[in-house]
Structure 1
Amino acid sequence: MFLYQVTEQCQKFVWKIRDGNDKVNFTLYYETLCPDCRHFMTTQLLRTYQTILDITNITIVPYGNAHETYNPTTRLYQFVCQHGPDECLGNLIHTCVLNFYPAIEQYMPFVNCTESTLGDVTTIAKQCAEKTKIDFDKIDACTNSTLGNQLQHMYAVQTESLQPPHKYVPWITVNGKHTEEMEHEAERNLIKLTCQYYKGSNPPVECKKHL
């Protein structure tokens, strides 16, 4: 029995040893009030984060189908969002959270909370911040600052630089590439898609179901 337990522990340890260079780079381009984005993030993305985070680098980019114009008088960018000013605020809140809490273990609980709750954007953000140990005052100040404006502009540039250009949201890339086939598979089963692109020698147990 003792030998079996030791062997089992060693096997579990081996599975955890993976080369970071083998990780699948997954990026999601989204906007905060888009129904399809919210559904994808609170189902496919959340499950992937919860089960196979050790084989994937997840990046989220809150901008989506927004447009920006530069105001030379204020030296700030003005944003117009698909779902109105509330979405622009939601995008900016997520942008500031990602800046101050860059670790996925920090920002994902907050992002999932806001994307799974309907209502006033500021009220929800404040409630979710309290639940997930995010300093809301810091985030709120950021959304009204030059820093927040510049950070949102950076996401605008990143989104508008996509090749091929994005046509809708959610829009995903895997290892920097996008195809319609990838998109459809991600929406059906992101875990399966990620496992298919993982080239490491020790795939997690969850991937064995799909290989």
Structure 2
Amino acid sequence: MALILCFWILSFVIRGGLSVPSPVAWYANGKTPSRRYGSPAYGTSKIPMDIYIMSKCPDARDCMQMLILPTMQNVSDIIDLNLSYIGTENADGSVTCKHGPTECQGNIIELCAAQINPDPKTILGFTMCMYLQYPLIPNRELVESCALQHWIPIEKLDECTSRDNGEFGMSLLRKSVAKSAEDEVKISCTVKLEGKTVCVRDGGEWVDCPRHEPQELEDDIKKLAGKQ
């Protein structure tokens, strides 16, 4: 780990790159995700978790940092994670995002990252890294830094976002926005387990969210998976 950190620092000193704080998540306090709940004795079924977000939304940042990442620290191996983005599809096939065109670009970048490496640790780590400086999205140095930290090859990310003159990435965004609309979700951040809304973060407040502490959400997930 020390070698990786030294390499990261050196590479950005040489390149004069952007300094991005490490996400508060998984590896806080030296912890790695526990896999004790994924042992054969507990079965192998995974609980669908849908998180509906916008890449430049401060409520989504808070939701990820305060609830989702601490929760996933111990249950990532029993979660089937899906990030869905909120926006409006237009008649011409374009998408309008609440925080402007740069948010649409950020959404596409994060969707492409998930295409390249769908592992929940990677998806959430990369997304949280972007949220830590979300006003800068889609700043190139920010994207490169987050990709490097979370082992996403930047050349693959570039290929995904530029494929078919950008149409491939736009198709990912359209599908994601369509899912959010189909699920009747309009607020970023909304969290669902097995299709049921369990928490909403809106306007800096927890809404319809009686159990918004990480341990409480973790307990709910384990109960659904038959782990308690």
TM-score interval, smaller chain:
0.7 to 0.9
SS of the residue corresponding to residue 60 of structure 1 reads strand
In structure 2, C-alpha distance between the alignment counterparts of 1:92 and 1:151, rounded to whole Å: 7
Letter in 1 for 2:190: W
User: RMSD of aligned C-alpha atoms?
Assistant: 2.6
SS of the residue corresponding to residue 184 of structure 1 reads coil
In structure 1, C-alpha distance between the alignment counterparts of 2:224 and 2:158, rounded to whole Å: 41
> Which residue matches 2:66?
43
TM-aligned CA deviation for residue 137 of structure 1:
2.6
> Which residue matches 1:82?
98
Residue in structure 2 matching 1:16, options 39, 51, 54: 39
TM-aligned CA deviation for residue 118 of structure 1:
4.1
In structure 2, C-alpha distance between the alignment counterparts of 1:44 and 1:179, rounded to whole Å: 12
Q: 1:200 to 1:161 in 2, by over 3 A?
A: closer
TM-score norm. by structure 1 comes to 0.74
Query: What are the ranges of 5 or more consecutive residues in structure 1 without an aligned counterpart?
Result: 1-11, 72-76, 204-211
Residue in structure 1 matching 2:120, options 104, 123, 126: 104
> Which residue matches 1:184?
209
The answer to which of 100-109 and 153-162 deviates more is 100-109
The answer to whether the Cα contact below 8 Å between 2:72 and 2:218 also exists between their aligned partners in 1 is: no
SS of the residue corresponding to residue 178 of structure 1 reads strand
Residue in structure 2 matching 1:92, options 100, 108, 117: 108
Letter in 1 for 2:115: N
Letter in 2 for 1:78: S
The answer to whether the Cα contact below 8 Å between 1:36 and 1:169 also exists between their aligned partners in 2 is: yes
2:159 counterpart of 1:174:
no
> Which residue matches 1:9?
none
The answer to whether the Cα contact below 8 Å between 1:15 and 1:202 also exists between their aligned partners in 2 is: no
SS of the residue corresponding to residue 133 of structure 1 reads coil
Letter in 2 for 1:53: S
Letter in 2 for 1:25: P
Residue in structure 2 matching 1:151, options 168, 172, 175: 172
TM-score norm. by structure 2 comes to 0.69
TM-aligned CA deviation for residue 54 of structure 1:
3.1
In structure 2, C-alpha distance between the alignment counterparts of 1:131 and 1:81, rounded to whole Å: 27
The answer to whether the Cα contact below 8 Å between 1:24 and 1:56 also exists between their aligned partners in 2 is: yes
2:85 counterpart of 1:28:
no
Higher CA-based Rg: 1
The answer to which of 116-125 and 33-42 deviates more is 116-125
The answer to whether the Cα contact below 8 Å between 1:42 and 1:116 also exists between their aligned partners in 2 is: no
2:151 counterpart of 1:136:
no
Residue in structure 1 matching 2:130, options 88, 91, 114: 114
The answer to whether the Cα contact below 8 Å between 2:126 and 2:147 also exists between their aligned partners in 1 is: yes
Question: Which structure ranks higher in relative contact order (CA pairs < 8 Å, sequence separation ≥ 6)?
Answer: 1
2:89 counterpart of 1:58:
no
TM-aligned CA deviation for residue 100 of structure 1:
1.5
The answer to whether the Cα contact below 8 Å between 2:56 and 2:134 also exists between their aligned partners in 1 is: no
TM-aligned CA deviation for residue 97 of structure 1:
0.8
In structure 1, C-alpha distance between the alignment counterparts of 2:128 and 2:67, rounded to whole Å: 11
Query: What are the ranges of 5 or more consecutive residues in structure 2 without an aligned counterpart?
Result: 1-34, 201-206
- Tell me the matched-pair count: 181
